[in-house]
């Protein structure tokens, strides 16, 4: 059962007042709020189980190791992967860099092509830009059309590339990219595909086997989990071939003066003490999402997108970026209003307890490509309501009249 009023009771922060107004949190693209079940998982771990993982034979270490590996199994099942294909990192940024630094370093040579898109977050743009520069490879950048979608005519850049790294859902345009089709094209051309799922996995069902992607990166804090925890999925056979990312404890099973033998996957990629409490709490976040059902979460957000579009379009001078149809996008809506700076808009909305984002959203190339100013962005999650949109719109109108 998907009941927003009931769901909201699980999120203590939603009871807060900001500047005397009830908090309306519309900055979920940056990070989501956390339900009490996730908060309790962190404190419960420290109160009852705290010990290092994979290192002790004592009870607490056994419990911690079990809980840590159980979280891995939950995350694996959530995306239809095998547990050994799940690497815990500190965020999506680290997951994306991991692929560039290991697979990329080992497989890209001078003259090779690397494909990405103009709508990438800096986390999925700069690692490839840097790798291309270092290896003297060519960075192929797929552009978007006026709808904010990558047209088929750009897909030849995928087939010519050794690796394509593409965002599943844009954090500016909201566009959902046809990653399954892109993966097929990459594979037909003998290349690999990495998907940045940071803005998709919190909001829709994801099945990495069905997508047939080689790598899938995401971040825990946008999907109800704590900060400091990210995930990289990789196909087993690729992870086995790849060199480690960082060296240290736990990633090695035999360390001798003469040389080392690396641990099995996924441990080969998890050097040092991991963010144990965060990973266990990420497991609790996955439980929470499963309980609600990803299809239900998506359906709720599509309704919010449609409703917000209808209302926003009535605002004089507004330009909304990305696809105009709700089913083609996630609940991230970036816009500008003629004569009104997005920073002014965001700070005036804050006076009324409404949290939105303004700026480039760590995606400057798409702003430059579209020749647009830094934008305002509202972004929804499962606890947002149409009632909140009804409060937001007149406030935007009021600020527009006052400032533009
Ligand atoms: C599309 C996309 N990719 C990557 C990231 C980076 O996530 P993190 O900062 O958790 O590494 C973000 C965060 O905003 C994002 O929206």
Residue 168 within a domain:
yes
Residue 34 within a domain:
no
Greatest CA separation for the chain? 73
Pick the last residue of a domain from 268, 291, 314. 291
Angstrom distance (rounded) from CA 228 to CA 90: 5
CB 32 less than 6 A from any atom of ligand 1: no
For the stretch 120-172, pLDDT in tens is 999 999 999 999 999 999 999 999 999 999 999 999 999 999 999 999 999 99
Q: How many domains does the chain have?
A: 2
Residue 123 and residue 254 share a domain: yes
Pick the last residue of a domain from 233, 260, 291. 291
CB 121 less than 6 A from any atom of ligand 1: yes
Pick the last residue of a domain from 240, 274, 291. 291
Distance 355 CA to ligand 1 centre (A): 18
Strands (E), 186-295: 192-196, 215-219, 230-234, 252-256, 259-262
Residue 23 and residue 107 share a domain: no
CB 175 less than 6 A from any atom of ligand 1: no
Residue 340 and residue 223 share a domain: no
Residue 306 and residue 213 share a domain: no
CATH number of the domain to which 369 belongs: 3.90.1150.10
Residue 159 and residue 282 share a domain: yes
Report the pLDDT value the prediction gives residue 251, as an integer from 0 to 100: 95
Q: Is 213 a catalytic residue?
A: no
Q: Is residue 379 classed as helix, strand or coil in its secondary structure?
A: strand
Report the pLDDT value the prediction gives residue 176, as an integer from 0 to 100: 98
CB 85 less than 6 A from any atom of ligand 1: no
Describe the strand order of the beta sheet including 215-219 as a list of residue ranges. Answer: 86-89, 230-234, 215-219, 192-196, 163-167, 113-117, 138-142
Q: How confident is the model at residue 277 (pLDDT cuts 50, 70, 90)?
A: very high
Judged against a pLDDT cut of 90, whether residue 54 lies above it is answered with no
For the stretch 365-381, pLDDT in tens is 999 999 999 999 999 99
Distance 170 CA to ligand 1 centre (A): 10
CB 196 less than 6 A from any atom of ligand 1: yes
Mean pLDDT across the chain, nearest whole number?
Answer: 97
Using the atom order of ligand 1, give the atom closest to the CA of residue 227.
Answer: 10
pTM: 0.97
Distance 250 CA to ligand 1 centre (A): 27
Q: What percent of the chain has pLDDT over 70?
A: 100
Distance 219 CA to ligand 1 centre (A): 7
Q: Which domain holds residue 191?
A: 39-291
CATH number of the domain to which 108 belongs: 3.40.640.10
Residue 258 within a domain:
yes
For the stretch 389-400, pLDDT in tens is 999 999 999 999
Judged against a pLDDT cut of 90, whether residue 56 lies above it is answered with no
Judged against a pLDDT cut of 80, whether residue 404 lies above it is answered with no
Residue 351 within a domain:
yes
Residue 66 and residue 23 share a domain: no
Residue 269 and residue 150 share a domain: yes
Closest C-alpha to ligand 1, atom 7: 92
Question: What is the pLDDT averaged over residues 76-93?
Answer: 98
């Amino acid at each position: 059962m998907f009941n927003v009023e009931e769901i909201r009771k699980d999120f203590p922060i939603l009871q807060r007042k900001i500047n005397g107004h009830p908090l309306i949190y519309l900055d979920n693209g940056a990070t989501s709020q956390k339900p009490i079940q996730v908060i309790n998982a962190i404190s419960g771990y420290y109160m009852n189980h705290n010990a290092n993982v994979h290192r002790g034979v004592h009870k607490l270490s056994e419990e911690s190791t079990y809980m840590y590996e159980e979280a891995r199994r939950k995350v694996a099942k959530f995306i239809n992967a095998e547990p050994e294909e799940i690497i815990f990192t500190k965020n999506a940024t680290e997951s994306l860099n991991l692929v560039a630094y290991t697979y990329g370093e080992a497989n890209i040579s001078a003259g090779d092509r690397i494909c990405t898109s103009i709508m990438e977050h800096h986390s999925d743009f700069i690692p490839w830009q840097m790798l291309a520069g270092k290896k003297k490879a060519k960075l192929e950048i797929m552009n978007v059309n006026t709808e904010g979608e990558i047209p088929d005519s750009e897909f030849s850049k995928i087939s010519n590339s050794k690796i394509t790294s593409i965002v599943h859902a844009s954090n500016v345009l909201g566009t959902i990219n046809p990653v399954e089709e892109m993966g097929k094209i990459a594979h037909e051309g003998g290349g690999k595909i990495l998907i940045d799922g940071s803005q998709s996995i919190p909001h829709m069902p994801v099945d990495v086997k069905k997508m047939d992607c080689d790598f899938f990166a995401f971040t825990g804090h946008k999907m109800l989990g704590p900060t400091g925890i990210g995930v990289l999925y990789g196909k087993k056979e690729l992870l086995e071939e790849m060199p480690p990312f960082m060296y240290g404890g736990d990633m090695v099973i035999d360390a001798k003066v003469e040389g080392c033998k690396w641990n099995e996957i996924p441990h080969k990629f998890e050097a040092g003490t991991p963010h144990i409490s965060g990973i266990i709490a990420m497991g609790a976040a996955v439980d929470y999402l499963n309980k609600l059902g990803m299809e239900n979460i998506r359906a709720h957000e599509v309704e919010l997108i449609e409703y917000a579009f209808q209302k926003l379009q009535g605002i004089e001078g507004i330009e909304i970026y990305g696809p105009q149809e709700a089913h083609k996008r996630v609940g991230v809506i970036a816009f500008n209003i003629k004569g009104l700076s997005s920073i002014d808009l965001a700070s005036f909305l804050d006076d009324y307890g409404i949290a939105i984002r303004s700026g480039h959203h760590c995606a400057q190339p798409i702003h430059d490509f579209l020749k647009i100013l830094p934008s305002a962005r509202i972004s929804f999650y499962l606890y947002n309501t149409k009632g909140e949109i009804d409060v937001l719109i007149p406030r935007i109108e009021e600020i527009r009249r006052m400032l533009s």
